Every structure is written in structure tokens, then in C-alpha cells.
Amino acid sequence: NVRSVAHSFSQNSKDHCPDVKRMLQSLFPCSQYRSINHRVDASSLRLYRWYYSRICQWGLGLAIAMVLLLAFIERPSSLSVSSDPRHRSASWEPPCGFTEGIEMVCLVIFSLDLAVKSYLIGWEEFRKNKWLICYFVVIFVSIIDWMLSVSMVCNEKLRVRRLLRPFFLLQNSSLMKKTLKCIKRTLPEIASVILLLALHLCLFTMIGMLLFAKTEKNGEWELHFRNLPSSLTSLLVLLTTANNPDVMIPAYSLNRAYSIFFIAFSVIGTYCLMNLLTAIIYNQFRGYLLMSVQTSIIRRRLGIRAAFQVLSCRGAPQAEEESVRVDAVLEVMTRAKMKSYYRAAITQYAEVGHIDREQFRKIFDHLDKDCIKEHPPLPQYNSPVLQKLQVIFSHYYLTIIGNAVALANVMCICVSCIQALVDMEYFTLPSSNCQIINLCFILYYLFEMCVKIFAFSWRGYLSYRNNIFDGFLTVLLLVLQITIFATYRFPYSGDPASQHGMSLWEMVRLVNMLIVFRFLRIIPDIKVLMALVASTLLDLVKNLRAFAGILVVVYYVFAVFGIWLFEGAIKPPPDMRYCNITSNFSMECGTYEQLGYWPNNFDDFAAAIILLYDVMIVNNWQAFIEAYGRYTTEWSKVYFVCWWLTSSVMWVNLFVALILEFCNPSSSPSLFPHNLLVFLCREQIQEPTEEELLCQLHQHPHLHLHW
């Protein structure tokens, strides 16, 4: 009974502190910026801890991945070697009920997920949560659509639930929800610049159609300004510079003054308005993102304040003297299954034995920091000779020498490859001298690994990621080289094109590729530019997963729409199914057919993803627009323009803005928080006051504290 427990500790009774500690574990979601507005009775807390356990969360993530991956094997299936319709073999089509059975299992899991979340927060909170209401609607519609598919023996033309599947990914990530909310609020500012771009495009389209009127020698009119749709498309593509200078050449060849029109269009549109759009996305999005992060910070501070109040087992009259015992906090952290190195944050208070409210709050700041890995101490040797050798082999200069040797090895490989190409002996037996040189380098790598193990010990050697990478490649190179000598002897006498296994030349190429990979060890040792770039990329991969998730959702939705609209729209002529060019089929230069873009289509989900990526890059994307306009209708251009605006304009600009903020010189690379957004907005975040926290605690729907 939460009320009785709260009433007991408000009367300064210590008898219920163990129960209070169990209740406190429900308030530790603040370590993950989660809300604490959930039930706090004993059975609900057990359900809560079970739901957020690693097994359940991994299971839910697996179900989301499975339901998204079904698009690759559902009809039209992507299980074929090639997506080229000219020589694509019949893809494997799953029997009716196979994918539907997997999907129903996933829908049952999502239903259980919704039921648990709804129960934990209660009906009142459920009615306020739009995401959970949408979650219920999506599951309900998906089940209805699934039943229709089964009743039609999987022969339905349209599966609405395929379009709804990305929602399961969105609702499971709070950061993705914040991102979508911020994008929605930023849309009015983005729309204003898009409107300016549209006006700019229409104005220059009208000028272009008047400037390049129909005449006998006007190739510009015939190719690019024949009608309004053609003119709009040509200038829209020029806005992305994909058809520059092709669109200008016919007019420019007649009169060089025509170049002023195209240059003015590009300067105003590409360099002014497009960059203005980037600036607006950066400023507005970050401003709204700050509001969401501020809400997360308030939610965490509220959880910390509630945790302190519950754990202190005291009431409000002694608020300024309140404190919690260090051993009690350690016990709660153990039950909450937090990482062990968080204990170091409160060991400094062990002598005092108690932590006040401000110290308790600062403990949670350590949850946002990576643990600084400490390497094991060096082994101790009694012999003076061994001690001197240990100093030599543990010195940083040994790593520099190893990098120089790796560079020399790569240069030898480059020289041997160039010599082989010059002599036209690429497919002959490799030179024995080259193999001897390779063996010498491998022996040095083995020597380096052994002396480092001697200097640092096994544990110390393996505590460095670079050493694990070097050691693995060294052992692999040695095993491969021994295999070569054992198989082909020395000098080589085997057949380089052996069909019984890997040929000699393939083995040698594998050795050389591994050596080239080993050369990557120099990246962390380049202290200036490359190391910064490499570390930035690694941190981006680790911290921008939510933004990548948004991109996955957008790709998924547009791919499904593309299949609905354009599946089987482009079909090669019958006489081109087994060859690229025939005398019976003439192709205009620069078109979809002449460029051989047949594999880029919407005939299956995987091919649609690749086509969308090609359009996002905007290189030659006019070929896709023109082809689908010919094979379907001119309105197909709307689909490609919407995709360009969503992916290349909005998403890429947002990603660039985040990278610029990420590379802020004030960043601390040694202690980088897991929550990237809190880190980026750290200077603008305002801490909530004590009065605000107490006011919200009084409004907690399930934790009724008697103050």
C-alpha cells in the first residue's frame, strides 16, 4: 500500500525503509530520462522491472526488426540475385501464411507491449498519451488488414499495414519522437523558404519559356523548354546542379549572353535560398530541440527529487537537514542493476556516510559519462635486464616504428601491384621475392606482438583495442602464410588456378588485403586532423542512431509508396531482355535506357530502396524523373520531388547541422555523454527550481506523499 508506506516514512519511521527502497527502484528510470508517472505498488514494480529488463527490450527490438524485414520477402519478393528486369530470374515467393504467421506473432508482442505500458501508467495517463492511442489504432488496423489478407489467400493488391510498420520503430524510441515533434514545429519556417524556392522556380520558368521561344535553330526550346512541365523539371534539376552545364549548352552555343540567365538562377536558388534553408533548419530545429531536451531534464530532476525524498524516509519539516545513507544508495543501485563503475561516484562520501540533496543530484550526472577505462598495471620483473627490456618495449616509439613498418609494407604491395599490371602478369604466379618480403613483415608483426605481451602482460595487451586488432590480424596473416607454404611449397609449384580450393593468387591477395587493413592502426596515432575525423565518425555512429532511425522510417514509407505506384511500370523491350543494345532499339543519349539504369526500379522493396538512395544523391536524378514520366504519367514527378525535398533537402541539411554542432570545440572527448542532445544543449538548459519540482511531485498520479 503506497499511501501507508508514504504515511509511515512521513512520521519518521524507519521500519518501512526496505519497502521504500523497493519503491525507489521505480524512480530510477530518471537515469534514462524516462517518466516516473507510473504505478508504484509492489506487483506493478515487478512488472515494470521485468518490462525494462534487457531480455524484454531485446525481444521487443527483435520483433520490430522482424516486422520491418518482412518487406524484403513479401510479394513482390526481393530474393533474387539481380533486380535488372532484362535477365532477372524468378524470385522465391513465400507460401501464403508464412510471412503472415511471423507478422501475427509480432503483432501479438506489440499488443502485449501496449497492454503493459497502458497498465503501468493507468487509464488517466493513457488518455493523455497520443503515442499510445496511435499505437492502439495502428495495431488494430494492422490486425484487420491481416485478417483481410488471410481471407483473400494473400492475393490482395494493397497491404495497408506495410505502410504502418515504421510506426512500431518510432514509438519505441523517445529520441525519435522528440525529433519528429521538433521537425513538425520547424515545418512552418521550412515551408516559408520552400515557398520562396517555388516562386523563384516559377519566375525563372516563365522567363525561360519567353526567352527560349520556339525557333528553327533553338535547341534549348526543343530539349528543355518545350512546355511548362519540361521547363519546371529542367530548372528544378538545375537547382541541384545535377544537369549543369548540360541544360545551358544549347543556348550558350548560340549566344554566350544566355549564360547570365542560368548563372543568376543558380546563384539565387542554389547558393542563397538553399543555404538559407540549411541555416533555418539548424536554428529552428535546435531551438525546438532545446525545448524537448529541457522537458527531459525536468523529468529527470523530478525523478531524482522523488527518489531522494523516498529514500531519505523523512518529511518536509526536516527538508533542509534531509540526507540519505551511502550504503542505502549503493544497495538500491545494486538492485537497479546499474553499471558497477557508477559506485565510484559516491565512494567519496563513504567517510561521511550520508549524502545531502545536492550531492545526491550530482551523482546522476555521472550516468551521462563514459567510464574512463584504466589499464592493468605493468608486470613486475626482478631482473634488471628484463626491467630495461620492459621499458624499451613499452615505449611509445615502438608503436611509431610499427606504424612505419606497416606503411613500408603497404608501399611494397603497391609497387608489386603496379609492376604486375605494367608487365601484364596479373594472373601469373606471384613473385617468390615478394612473398619472402611479405613473410619478413609478418615475422616483424609477430615479434612486435610478443614483446608487447612481455611488456604489458596478456591483460594489459588486450586492454588496448588497437592491440586486439593488430594481434588478430597478425595471427591470421601468419596462419595464412603457413598455409600457402604448406600447400604450394617453396618455390611455388602449384597451379595458380586450382579448383580444389583457394588458389595461390587468391591467398596472396587475401594476405595483402589483411596487411592493408592493418595499416589502419596509424589512424589513432595521427594527432591532428585524421584522428579528430575518425573519432568524430565513431561518436556519430554511436550517438546518432535515432536520427538514422528517422531516415529508415522515411525510406520505408517512400519505398512502399513507390511499389504501390510504379511496380512493373518500366519494362524493357522484348529484344533487349538478353542484351544491352540492338539495331532494332535506338536510345537517346542520357536517358534511362541509354544509361542502363534498368536495375533501378520499384519492382521489389530492395530495388526501391536503392533507387531512392540514387535519387537522394541527386546525381543524374533527372533520368529517373524523365523515364517514369514517360512510362507512367507526368504526375509521377511529384513523388520524386517530394522525396528530394524530404531526403536531400531536409534530412541532409539537418544532418549537416548536427555534425557542425557535434564538432563544437568545447566538446569534451574524454567524457562524452550517451545522450547526445543533452550534451549539445548543455549551455542553454535551465535547471528547474525546488518549488517547480515539489509542485509536480504533488501531482504524481500514483505516488501520494504526505508532506
Model confidence over 537-557: pLDDT tens digits?
Answer: 666 665 567 778 888 999 999
In this structure, which amino acid lies at residue 617? I
45-75 per-position pLDDT tens digit: 888 888 888 899 999 999 999 999 999 999 8
pLDDT given at position 536: 59
Fold agreement (181-286, 531-664): yes
pLDDT given at position 76: 87
Q: Is 429's pLDDT higher than 60?
A: no
pLDDT given at position 192: 84
355-403 per-position pLDDT tens digit: 777 777 777 766 666 555 667 888 888 888 888 888 888 888 888 888 8
Model confidence at 490, pLDDT cuts 50, 70, 90, reads low
Q: Is 173's pLDDT higher than 80?
A: yes
% the chain with pLDDT above 90: 22
Q: Exposed, middle or buried, 608 (CB in 10 Å: 0-12/13-18/19+)?
A: buried
Whose CA is closest to 61, among 113, 98, 97?
113
pLDDT given at position 662: 60
Burial 515-527 (b: 16+ CB within 10 A, else e): beebeebbeeeee
pLDDT given at position 1: 33
Give the Cα separation of 86 and 646 in Å (integer): 31
Q: Work out the average pLDDT over 644-648.
A: 90
Q: Work out the average pLDDT over 503-524.
A: 66
Of 66-75, 162-171, 437-446, 696-705, the poorest mean pLDDT is in 696-705
pLDDT given at position 565: 93
SS3 582: strand
Model confidence at 614, pLDDT cuts 50, 70, 90, reads very high
- The arrangement of secondary structure in 384-525, i.e. its CATH architecture, is Up-down Bundle (1.20)
Which DSSP category does 688 fall into?
P
Q: Is 15's pLDDT higher than 60?
A: no
pLDDT given at position 111: 96
Give the Cα separation of 9 and 6 in Å (integer): 5
Q: Please list, in sequence order, all residues whose beta carbon lies within 8 angstroms of the beta carbon of residue 563, skipping any fewer than 6 positions away.
A: 76, 602, 603, 604, 605, 608
Sequence ranges of the domains in the chain: 53-172, 181-286, 384-525, 531-664
> Which CATH code is given to the segment(s) 531-664?
1.10.287
- The per-residue pLDDT of the chain, averaged, comes to 77
pLDDT given at position 143: 95
pLDDT given at position 582: 44
Query: Between 567 and 661, where is the model more confident?
Result: 567
% the chain with pLDDT above 70: 70
- Write out the CATH class of domain 181-286: mainly alpha
SS3 585: strand
Give the Cα separation of 696 and 707 in Å (integer): 13
Give the three cell numbers for residue 367: 550516468
Of 71-80, 244-253, 280-289, the poorest mean pLDDT is in 280-289
pLDDT given at position 583: 42
